[in-house]
Structure 1
């Protein structure tokens, strides 16, 4: 599959991004302060991991008018090939791999869908749990989903809590008489 390049929005004539998630500078001539023209060759721009808070999300640094700015590569790809992010959306990786910045792996979607991608990919720390804290297995028969975030709860533990609460209330009502 051939690689397609587009200008980085806001950096037209300076940088391009490909549908494979690579970034390069554009060959150009720059007027120096002493009046001489400097020829800048096109070259690949290095990318780095996002650090401890952002995992494998790739970032790079772009310069314009002597000022540098760190940008996320996945955003550059979507902005160049799809357009700006619609209101209330963020960049999502379809396969859950934040280092895969191919255009076919990216989409604009809501924060909630982005979080669900982690669960669907089996990467969420709670989704990988097979048993509740009391040792009951999370099976379809023993699992209920509660609340807007669809949290998983153990039915056996819920039954035990309900029974204990009823016993406590029954004991409290008999001691009052």
Structure 2
């Protein structure tokens, strides 16, 4: 690919940016306020890196990021709500083939795919320290990784708090038919139903079944 130069948007006739991500000034003259003629020699500008590693350049005492200049010159103005994306994850590669406008969500997924996202680089859970391996990790619908052990511990703690906050029910003193649960009138049901049973209710139910059977046989 041959290097192509285009005017920097907002600095036409002053600066140019190439499709390789280089920036240069254009030879030009300018009349000063006192009537003097100043000549500017064109030169290649020195690029610096900001705190995030993006290459930037100073244009008329105003700092601009190089990848934004390349996109504006070769892909058009920034669409509303869009950000500049580095498709291969290398912030120093400002060639037009590596750049594209995209949504903030697409840009965030790029960092996850490239392994440069702060959470994607984690190899263990920050809470319990267990490794993010296949057995201890599950992925949510939003693509986030979660620790299974921490999730289970949080669920157990939540249930414990719910039990502690809910008032305990007082044990029943009478059955649904009004018979008192005395030691003589109470028996324990066999599993799986379990629980206490009323002997009087059981006797009355047996008597009704006996009467129905007697009436059927007669």
TM-score, length basis structure 2: 0.67
Within 5 Å, give how 1:76-91 maps onto structure 2. Answer: 76-91=69-84
Question: More helix by proportion, 1 or 2?
Answer: 2
Query: Is 1:118 paired with 2:111?
Result: yes
Identify unmatched segments of 5+ residues in structure 1.
none
Paired residue total:
169
Alpha-carbon distance in 2 for matches of 1:10, 1:168: 61
Alpha-carbon distance in 1 for matches of 2:55, 2:165: 60
Q: Secondary structure at the match of 2:53?
A: strand
Alpha-carbon distance in 1 for matches of 2:165, 2:28: 84
1:101 corresponds in structure 2 to: 94
- Tell me by how many angstroms 1:3 deviates: 0.7
Q: Secondary structure at the match of 1:56?
A: coil
Alpha-carbon distance in 1 for matches of 2:130, 2:36: 75
2:139 corresponds in structure 1 to: 145
Query: Is 1:134 paired with 2:131?
Result: no
The superposition leaves residues 86-132 of structure 1 with CA deviations (integer Å, 9 ceiling, x where unpaired) of: 11101111122222211111111111222222221112232122222
- Tell me by how many angstroms 1:168 deviates: 5.4
Question: Which of the pair has more CA radius of gyration?
Answer: 2
Q: Secondary structure at the match of 2:70?
A: helix
1:2 corresponds in structure 2 to: 2
Question: More strand by proportion, 1 or 2?
Answer: 1
Identify unmatched segments of 5+ residues in structure 2.
171-218
> Given the alignment, which residue of 55, 58, 64 partners 1:58?
55
- Tell me by how many angstroms 1:4 deviates: 0.5
Query: Is 1:157 paired with 2:150?
Result: yes
Alpha-carbon distance in 2 for matches of 1:98, 1:85: 18
